[in-house]
Amino acid sequence: MKPDRTAVVLIEFQNEFCKEGGKLFAEVQDEIARQDTLKNAARLLQAARKEGCLVIHCPFVFDETWVQQHGVCGIIGEAAKVGAFREGEWGTEIIDELAPLESEPILSGKHALSGFKNTQLAELLEANAVRNVVIAGLLSNVCVEATARSAYDLGYRVSVIRDATAATSRATQQYVERETYPLLGGSLSVDQFIERLSPGQSPQNDG
Protein backbone atom coordinates (compact mmCIF):
# COMPACT_ATOMS: atom_id res chain seq x y z
CA MET A 1 0.00 0.00 0.00
CA LYS A 2 1.78 3.10 -1.24
CA PRO A 3 1.33 6.10 1.05
CA ASP A 4 1.15 8.53 -1.86
CA ARG A 5 -1.78 6.56 -3.31
CA THR A 6 -3.57 6.24 0.03
CA ALA A 7 -6.15 8.46 1.71
CA VAL A 8 -7.13 8.08 5.35
CA VAL A 9 -10.66 9.35 5.90
CA LEU A 10 -11.60 10.15 9.50
CA ILE A 11 -15.36 10.19 9.95
CA GLU A 12 -17.15 12.09 12.70
CA PHE A 13 -14.53 12.09 15.41
CA GLN A 14 -16.49 14.92 16.99
CA ASN A 15 -17.24 15.89 20.57
CA GLU A 16 -20.89 14.92 20.15
CA PHE A 17 -19.89 11.26 19.90
CA CYS A 18 -16.50 11.11 21.58
CA LYS A 19 -16.57 13.26 24.70
CA GLU A 20 -18.52 13.35 27.93
CA GLY A 21 -21.13 16.05 27.52
CA GLY A 22 -21.66 15.17 23.88
CA LYS A 23 -25.31 14.57 23.07
CA LEU A 24 -24.62 11.09 21.63
CA PHE A 25 -21.71 10.08 23.85
CA ALA A 26 -23.80 7.79 26.03
CA GLU A 27 -24.77 5.75 22.98
CA VAL A 28 -21.18 4.83 22.10
CA GLN A 29 -19.03 5.36 25.18
CA ASP A 30 -18.86 1.68 26.14
CA GLU A 31 -17.77 0.61 22.69
CA ILE A 32 -15.28 3.47 22.38
CA ALA A 33 -13.76 2.28 25.65
CA ARG A 34 -13.79 -1.41 24.71
CA GLN A 35 -12.27 -0.78 21.29
CA ASP A 36 -9.89 1.91 22.57
CA THR A 37 -11.16 3.75 19.53
CA LEU A 38 -9.71 7.20 20.17
CA LYS A 39 -6.23 6.00 21.08
CA ASN A 40 -6.16 3.78 18.01
CA ALA A 41 -7.41 6.59 15.82
CA ALA A 42 -4.61 8.82 17.10
CA ARG A 43 -2.08 6.09 16.25
CA LEU A 44 -3.61 5.75 12.80
CA LEU A 45 -3.41 9.48 12.22
CA GLN A 46 0.18 9.65 13.42
CA ALA A 47 1.24 6.86 11.07
CA ALA A 48 -0.64 8.35 8.12
CA ARG A 49 1.01 11.72 8.63
CA LYS A 50 4.46 10.21 9.10
CA GLU A 51 4.25 8.15 5.91
CA GLY A 52 2.71 10.92 3.81
CA CYS A 53 -0.82 9.64 3.25
CA LEU A 54 -3.56 12.09 2.36
CA VAL A 55 -5.52 12.73 5.57
CA ILE A 56 -9.11 13.88 5.16
CA HIS A 57 -11.38 14.90 8.03
CA CYS A 58 -15.08 14.24 7.51
CA PRO A 59 -17.33 15.81 10.16
CA PHE A 60 -21.13 15.75 10.16
CA VAL A 61 -23.02 19.04 10.43
CA PHE A 62 -26.79 18.97 10.77
CA ASP A 63 -28.62 20.77 7.95
CA GLU A 64 -32.19 21.51 9.03
CA THR A 65 -33.28 22.79 5.64
CA TRP A 66 -32.10 19.63 3.88
CA VAL A 67 -33.77 17.42 6.48
CA GLN A 68 -37.09 19.23 6.12
CA GLN A 69 -36.97 19.27 2.33
CA HIS A 70 -36.33 15.53 2.15
CA GLY A 71 -38.46 14.41 5.06
CA VAL A 72 -35.48 12.65 6.56
CA CYS A 73 -36.17 10.32 9.47
CA GLY A 74 -34.16 7.44 10.92
CA ILE A 75 -30.83 8.14 12.59
CA ILE A 76 -30.52 11.70 11.27
CA GLY A 77 -34.05 12.38 12.45
CA GLU A 78 -33.09 11.12 15.90
CA ALA A 79 -30.03 13.38 15.94
CA ALA A 80 -32.32 16.28 15.09
CA LYS A 81 -34.55 15.54 18.08
CA VAL A 82 -31.67 15.90 20.54
CA GLY A 83 -30.16 18.91 18.81
CA ALA A 84 -26.93 17.16 17.88
CA PHE A 85 -24.25 18.33 15.45
CA ARG A 86 -25.46 21.90 15.16
CA GLU A 87 -23.19 24.24 13.26
CA GLY A 88 -20.91 26.34 15.45
CA GLU A 89 -21.49 24.34 18.64
CA TRP A 90 -18.89 22.54 20.75
CA GLY A 91 -20.41 19.16 20.00
CA THR A 92 -19.74 19.55 16.28
CA GLU A 93 -16.03 20.32 16.70
CA ILE A 94 -13.44 17.66 15.87
CA ILE A 95 -11.87 16.27 19.02
CA ASP A 96 -8.57 17.76 20.16
CA GLU A 97 -6.71 14.45 19.88
CA LEU A 98 -7.32 14.39 16.12
CA ALA A 99 -7.23 18.11 15.44
CA PRO A 100 -6.56 18.73 11.74
CA LEU A 101 -3.35 20.30 10.55
CA GLU A 102 -3.70 23.38 8.36
CA SER A 103 -2.66 21.30 5.36
CA GLU A 104 -5.35 18.65 5.91
CA PRO A 105 -8.70 19.10 4.17
CA ILE A 106 -11.87 19.21 6.26
CA LEU A 107 -14.89 18.25 4.21
CA SER A 108 -17.89 20.54 4.32
CA GLY A 109 -21.45 19.69 3.46
CA LYS A 110 -21.70 16.24 5.04
CA HIS A 111 -25.25 16.05 6.34
CA ALA A 112 -26.11 12.59 5.04
CA LEU A 113 -24.56 9.19 5.82
CA SER A 114 -21.92 8.70 3.13
CA GLY A 115 -18.84 10.88 3.25
CA PHE A 116 -19.20 11.32 -0.51
CA LYS A 117 -22.69 12.82 -0.44
CA ASN A 118 -22.70 16.63 -0.79
CA THR A 119 -18.94 16.87 -0.06
CA GLN A 120 -15.68 17.34 -1.93
CA LEU A 121 -14.40 13.84 -1.15
CA ALA A 122 -14.62 12.37 -4.65
CA GLU A 123 -12.83 15.37 -6.14
CA LEU A 124 -10.06 15.24 -3.53
CA LEU A 125 -9.41 11.55 -4.14
CA GLU A 126 -9.29 12.02 -7.88
CA ALA A 127 -7.08 15.10 -7.72
CA ASN A 128 -4.57 13.25 -5.55
CA ALA A 129 -4.54 10.04 -7.65
CA VAL A 130 -5.68 8.01 -4.66
CA ARG A 131 -6.06 4.26 -5.08
CA ASN A 132 -6.57 3.09 -1.48
CA VAL A 133 -9.28 4.53 0.76
CA VAL A 134 -8.75 3.78 4.44
CA ILE A 135 -11.66 4.62 6.72
CA ALA A 136 -12.04 5.07 10.47
CA GLY A 137 -14.64 6.71 12.65
CA LEU A 138 -18.24 6.51 13.80
CA LEU A 139 -20.60 4.83 13.59
CA SER A 140 -19.21 1.57 12.24
CA ASN A 141 -22.52 0.40 10.79
CA VAL A 142 -23.78 3.79 9.65
CA CYS A 143 -21.50 6.51 8.24
CA VAL A 144 -18.36 4.37 8.16
CA GLU A 145 -20.18 1.61 6.31
CA ALA A 146 -21.98 4.06 4.00
CA THR A 147 -18.70 5.74 3.04
CA ALA A 148 -16.99 2.40 2.52
CA ARG A 149 -19.79 1.24 0.24
CA SER A 150 -19.59 4.44 -1.80
CA ALA A 151 -15.81 4.17 -2.15
CA TYR A 152 -16.13 0.53 -3.20
CA ASP A 153 -18.74 1.41 -5.82
CA LEU A 154 -16.38 4.04 -7.23
CA GLY A 155 -13.64 1.45 -7.69
CA TYR A 156 -11.33 2.22 -4.79
CA ARG A 157 -9.55 -0.37 -2.69
CA VAL A 158 -11.29 -0.03 0.65
CA SER A 159 -10.00 -0.88 4.11
CA VAL A 160 -11.85 -0.11 7.33
CA ILE A 161 -9.66 0.23 10.41
CA ARG A 162 -11.81 -1.84 12.73
CA ASP A 163 -10.15 -0.89 16.04
CA ALA A 164 -10.45 2.81 15.19
CA THR A 165 -14.22 2.61 14.79
CA ALA A 166 -17.15 2.10 17.15
CA ALA A 167 -20.82 1.17 17.01
CA THR A 168 -23.49 1.42 19.69
CA SER A 169 -23.04 -2.21 20.77
CA ARG A 170 -20.50 -5.01 20.66
CA ALA A 171 -22.94 -7.20 18.73
CA THR A 172 -23.31 -4.57 16.01
CA GLN A 173 -19.56 -4.05 15.78
CA GLN A 174 -18.95 -7.76 15.46
CA TYR A 175 -21.64 -8.10 12.82
CA VAL A 176 -20.22 -5.45 10.49
CA GLU A 177 -16.70 -6.81 10.93
CA ARG A 178 -17.88 -10.33 10.11
CA GLU A 179 -20.57 -9.75 7.49
CA THR A 180 -20.15 -6.32 5.89
CA TYR A 181 -16.52 -5.24 5.72
CA PRO A 182 -15.33 -8.42 3.93
CA LEU A 183 -17.74 -7.62 1.10
CA LEU A 184 -16.15 -4.20 0.63
CA GLY A 185 -12.49 -5.24 0.67
CA GLY A 186 -11.94 -6.12 4.30
CA SER A 187 -10.82 -4.52 7.52
CA LEU A 188 -7.46 -4.00 9.18
CA SER A 189 -6.24 -3.22 12.66
CA VAL A 190 -4.09 -0.12 13.09
CA ASP A 191 -1.03 -2.36 13.44
CA GLN A 192 -1.83 -4.15 10.19
CA PHE A 193 -2.29 -0.83 8.41
CA ILE A 194 1.10 0.37 9.62
CA GLU A 195 2.72 -2.87 8.47
CA ARG A 196 1.20 -2.56 5.00
CA LEU A 197 2.52 0.98 4.66
CA SER A 198 6.05 -0.19 5.44
CA PRO A 199 8.57 -0.70 2.60
CA GLY A 200 9.08 -4.19 1.22
CA GLN A 201 5.60 -5.52 1.86
CA SER A 202 3.69 -7.96 -0.30
CA PRO A 203 3.50 -7.09 -4.02
CA GLN A 204 -0.27 -7.50 -3.93
CA ASN A 205 -0.44 -4.30 -1.91
CA ASP A 206 1.73 -2.23 -4.28
CA GLY A 207 -1.02 0.15 -5.30
> How does the average pLDDT of the chain come out, rounded?
92
pLDDT at 202 over 60: no
Q: What is the pLDDT of residue 71?
A: 64
pLDDT at 162 over 50: yes
Three-state SS across the chain? CCHHHEEEEEECCEHHHHCCCCCCHHHHHHHHHHHCHHHHHHHHHHHHHHHCCEEEEECCCCCHHHHHHHCCCHHHHHHHHCCCCCCCCHHHCECHHHCCCCCCCECCCCCCCCCCCCCCHHHHHHHCCCCEEEEEEECHHHHHHHHHHHHHHCCCEEEEEEEEEECCCHHHHHHHHHHHHHHHCCEECHHHHHHHHCCCCCHHHCC
pLDDT value of position 108 = 95
% of the chain exceeding 70 in pLDDT: 94
Q: Is the pLDDT of residue 205 over 80?
A: no
**pLDDT range class, residue 206, cuts 50, 70, 90:** low
Per-residue model confidence (pLDDT) at position 203: 43
